[in-house]
Amino acid sequence: MFKKRIVINNKKDLNRFYNNLKYYRSILFVFTKFYSDNKEIETFITALNIKNRFKRIRYCYDAAIKQINDFEGGCNFCKFDKNGVCRNGLKNGCCRYCFHVGDKGCTSENLSCKLFYCSKVYNKHKIVKFDDLKILRCLSFRCRTIIRHDFFTKKEDVLMDLYIGSILILFVRYFYRFIKQEIIKLFRKIKKKKK
């Protein structure tokens, strides 16, 4: 295993490191162990040292979710009232058509959904935007494109979409999940009516 030390002395070094992530995450550095004394890039160093693709995807995904959760600190930007109506006047807000919404909100951890806010929210609050999640630069461009679009999906399925890494297969899987969910919903309705 080769070793590569990353030295960060100033903002310029940090920006250069972020720009170089596209090389560091590539096959060129698959036999390289990164290390650095800088705490600010600790998460990135850990991600780059995970050479198993699926494990790296999961790590970066969880790190991005943590960054959003830490920033929002449990804030209810959507201002859901006690009846589950959001600031935009929608019962269950953006999740109203989703299969994964439970009595207490989302039953999964979907990064795409966590990044979405309507103008009623982002006009009033500073929110985490996609480009703020620098850790996602440890993933490929295709993975980042998938993350921007994989709404209404449970976490494990998103991770598999990212692992497959194909936009075309993403849409096929998305369509399959949609049909499956509609059939389950239909069966549930029929069952309810029979009671």
- The residue from 8, 65, 121, 128 that contacts ligand SF4 (CB under 6 A) is 121
- The residue from 41, 93, 111, 162 that contacts ligand SF4 (CB under 6 A) is 93
Q: What is the dihedral of CA 88, 92, 96, 102, to 10 degrees?
A: 160
Q: Cβ closer to ligand SF4: 10 or 119?
A: 119
Contact 127, 117 (CB under 8 A): yes
159 binds ligand SF4 (CB under 6 A): no
Beta bridge partners of 33: 3
48 binds ligand SF4 (CB under 6 A): no
120 binds ligand SF4 (CB under 6 A): yes
90 binds ligand SF4 (CB under 6 A): yes
Q: Identify which of 147, 151, 145 has the alpha carbon closest to the alpha carbon of residue 96.
A: 151
Burial 37-48 (b: 16+ CB within 10 A, else e): eeeebebbbbbb
**Cα–Cα dist 114/126, whole Å:** 14
118 binds ligand SF4 (CB under 6 A): yes
Q: Cβ closer to ligand SF4: 45 or 94?
A: 94
Give CA angle at 43 (23, 58), nearest 5°.
80
Q: What is the dihedral of CA 98, 59, 39, 19, to 10 degrees?
A: -90
Size of the site for ligand SF4 (CB under 6 A): 21
Q: Scanning residues 124 to 153, which ones bind ligand SF4 (CB under 6 A)?
A: 151-152
Q: Cβ closer to ligand SF4: 94 or 139?
A: 94
- Which residues, 6 or more positions from 11, have their beta carbon under 8 angstroms from its beta carbon? none
- The residue from 49, 108, 140, 181 that contacts ligand SF4 (CB under 6 A) is 108
Q: Cβ closer to ligand SF4: 32 or 108?
A: 108
Residue numbers at the binding site for ligand SF4 (CB under 6 A): 78, 86-88, 90, 93-95, 98, 100-101, 106, 108, 110, 113, 117-118, 120-121, 151-152
